[in-house]
Amino acid sequence: MKRLTRRSLLVGSAALAGGSAIAAPRAAPEVPRSGNVDAIVIGAGAAGIAAARRLVAAGRRIAVLEAAEELGGRCITDTRTFGFPYDRGAHWLYLADTNPVPRLAAQAGLDIYPAPPGQRMRIGRRYAREGEMEDFLAQLVHANTAIADAARKGDVSCAQVLPKELGDWRSTVDFVLGGYACGRDLAEVSTVDLSRSAERDNAVFCRQGLGALLAKLAPAAVVQLAAPVSRVSWGRGNVEVETSKGQFRAAALIVTVSTNVLASGKIKFSPELPKRQLDAAAKLRLGSRDRVALQFAGNALGLRADELVFEKSESRQTAAIFANASGSTLCTVDVGGSFGRDVSAKGEAAMIDFAIEWISGLYGPEVKSSVKRRHAMRWNNEPWVLGAASAAVPGGQSARKVLTEPLAGRVFFAGEAVHETLWGTVGGAWDSGERAADAVVKMFGGGARGR
C-alpha cells in the first residue's frame, strides 16, 4: 500500500503542531459574568483555548466568551448519536513527534495512537493495483511540483497551472488537493498558499475524540458558554465587549472567530474594523467540507480501523471515506468543494442519501442494508462557524500576515486563518492562539500579574 505524503497529498483535516511548553497552566480563578478583567478571548476553539492557557499561566485574570453551548469550535466530539466518540469536525493530529498537544493529552489521561501508514484508492468496485497507484502518486507529485513552480512566479489559481498530463486522474487530483484538503476546488485556491503549507505527516488520533481532548485542556473556570458577543468597542482606552449575559472591560482582546463570522457582521465593532482586515478576512473565507457518518452492522466495507479511502473519479461528485473510526463500525464520508457545498445546501437527508448511494456504487448495493444509524454535519450552517477552514483565494495569501497585525496595540486576531503554514489545521489555530497570548503578556510587561 502506497503512502500519500506531504509531496503527494496535502490532507487538510486537523493538525496540531508547535514547540510550545507543555506545562499545565496554574488554576484559573473563576471569572464573574461581567466586569473588569485583564484580557478577553472571544471563542473557545483551539486558538481560544491555547490563548487562555497561556494567559492563565502568566497569572492574568481573563474571560473566554464562547457563543456555542460547548467548547471546541470546529472540534466537536459527539458521544450521544452513536453511543461512542464521533468527531463531527477536526479529527487528525499531525507532527506528533514535535507536537506538545498529544503529550498534554496523555497527561490528561487520554489515549493517543498512531494513524495507519497508508491510504487506498477505489476504482469502481475494486482497489487500485500497484501500477495504478504508482501512476496516481506520480501525477499528484507532478501537480504539486507545478503548483510550487508557479507560486515562485506569482499567486494564481492552482487549477490554472495543473499539467495537462494528469489525464484521467485530473478530477481525483482536484478533489484530493482541493475539495478535500482545502474545502475548495483548485480553481479557487492560491498557488502560494498551497505551496507554503507545512508538512502534515506523522499523524495520530485521540481515541476519546479531538473535541474531548480540547475540552480537557481548556481552563474551564474562565469560559462562559452560550455567551455570543454582540459588540466590541476598541477605539480608545480599554476594550469593551458586550455579550448576551453581560459586559466586560479589559486592556486587551484576542478574537478567534472564523473569517466567515468576522466578515458576516455578527459581531459589531465600534469603530468598524479597518478595510484592510475586512478585505483579508474575505480573501481567507472558509471553504466547504461536510461530513456524513454511517454506523454499519459489522465491517461491511472490509476496511481496517482508521483507514482513508479515495475514489478515482470522473467528476467533482466524489468524496472520501474514513473507515471504522478507532476500531468502531462507524465510517464517515466527507464531501468538499463546490460539489460538497451544493449537497450540503440541500439538507441532511440529501447528504445521507448521496453518501449511501456513493458507497454502494463502490462496494455493492448490499451495503445499504448494513447501515444502522446515520448523521450529517453541515458546518456551513453552524451559525458561529459558517464553514470548514480557510483557504486563500488566488492572490490572497498575503492576507494571513495582515491578520497577525494588532489593532490599536490591544486587539489581536488568532485562529487557523492567521497561520501562514498550518492554515486549515487545529495546529495552526493552537499556535496562533499562543502567539497572540504571548503578545498580550508582553503588553503587560512580560510577566505574571502581581497581586
What's the pLDDT tens digit per position in 378-403?
999 999 999 999 999 999 999 999 99
Residue whose C-alpha is closest to residue 338's, from 264, 417, 263, 391: 391
pLDDT above 70: percentage of residues in the chain = 92
pLDDT at 411: 98
Domain 35-113+205-285+389-443 in CATH 3.50.50.60? The answer is: yes
Residue 25 has pLDDT above 60, yes or no: no
pLDDT at 11: 45
Distance CA(187)–CA(169), nearest Å, equals 16
Give strand pairing partners of 321.
309, 333
Task: Report, as an integer, the average pLDDT of 138-146.
Answer: 96
CATH tag, 119-196+286-381: 3.90.660.10
Residue 2 has pLDDT above 50, yes or no: no
Give per-residue pLDDT as tens, 289-299: 999 999 999 99
**CB-CB contact of 63 with 38 (8 Å):** no
**CB-CB contact of 12 with 182 (8 Å):** yes
More confident residue, 201 or 112: 112
Residue 105 has pLDDT above 90, yes or no: no
Residue 146 has pLDDT above 90, yes or no: yes
Q: State the chain's mean pLDDT as an integer.
A: 91
pLDDT band at 231 (very low <50, low <70, confident <90, very high): very high
Residue 251 has pLDDT above 90, yes or no: yes
User: Coil, strand, or helix at residue 79?
Assistant: coil
Q: How far is CA 61 from CA 57, 262, 367, 443, 448, in A?
A: 10, 25, 54, 14, 10
Residue whose C-alpha is closest to residue 422's, from 3, 8, 4, 13: 13
Q: Where are the alpha helices (DSSP H) in 152-199?
A: 170-174, 191-195
Query: For residues 133, 139, 141 and 146, what is the CA-based torsion angle, rounded to 10 degrees?
Result: -170
Distance CA(258)–CA(383), nearest Å, equals 11
Q: Which residue has the cell 496595540?
A: 409
pLDDT at 29: 63
Give per-residue pLDDT as tens, 406-422: 999 999 999 999 999 98
- How does DSSP classify residue 434? H
Residues in the chain: 451
Cell numbers found for residue 5: 505524503
More confident residue, 98 or 428: 428
Report phi then psi at 108, rounded to 5.
Answer: -85, 0
Residue whose C-alpha is closest to residue 328's, from 83, 115, 127, 109: 83
- Residue 272, classified by CB atoms within 10 Å of its CB into exposed (0-12), middle (13-18) or buried (19+), is exposed
Strands 411-413 and 252-255: parallel
| ω into 271 cis (within 30 of 0) | yes
Give strand pairing partners of 42.
65, 255
Enumerate long-range contacts of 134-138, CB under 8 Å, 24 or more apart.
134/2, 135/169, 136/169, 136/172, 136/312, 137/2, 137/4, 137/8
Max alpha carbon distance in the chain (Å)?
68
**CB-CB contact of 175 with 316 (8 Å):** yes
Give per-residue pLDDT as tens, 317-333: 999 999 999 999 999 99
Distance CA(283)–CA(189), nearest Å, equals 10
Residue 197 has pLDDT above 80, yes or no: yes
Task: Report, as an integer, the average pLDDT of 202-209.
Answer: 92
Distance CA(29)–CA(75), nearest Å, equals 25
**CB-CB contact of 11 with 92 (8 Å):** yes
- Residue 286, classified by CB atoms within 10 Å of its CB into exposed (0-12), middle (13-18) or buried (19+), is buried
| Amino acid code (one letter) for 117 | P
pLDDT band at 24 (very low <50, low <70, confident <90, very high): very low
Residue 23 has pLDDT above 60, yes or no: no
User: Coil, strand, or helix at residue 1?
Assistant: coil
Report the range out of 16-20, 106-110, 123-127, 447-451 with the highest average pLDDT.
Answer: 123-127
Cell numbers found for residue 81: 448519536
Distance CA(439)–CA(244), nearest Å, equals 28
Distance CA(176)–CA(195), nearest Å, equals 15
pLDDT band at 27 (very low <50, low <70, confident <90, very high): low
Residue 33 has pLDDT above 90, yes or no: no
**Phi-psi region for residue 24, left (φ > 0), alpha (ψ -120 to 50) or beta?**
beta
Instruction: Specify the domain boundaries for CATH 3.90.660.10 within the chain.
Output: 119-196+286-381
Instruction: Specify the domain boundaries for CATH 3.50.50.60 within the chain.
Output: 35-113+205-285+389-443
pLDDT at 392: 97
Task: Report, as an integer, the average pLDDT of 220-225.
Answer: 93
Strands 371-377 and 289-296: antiparallel
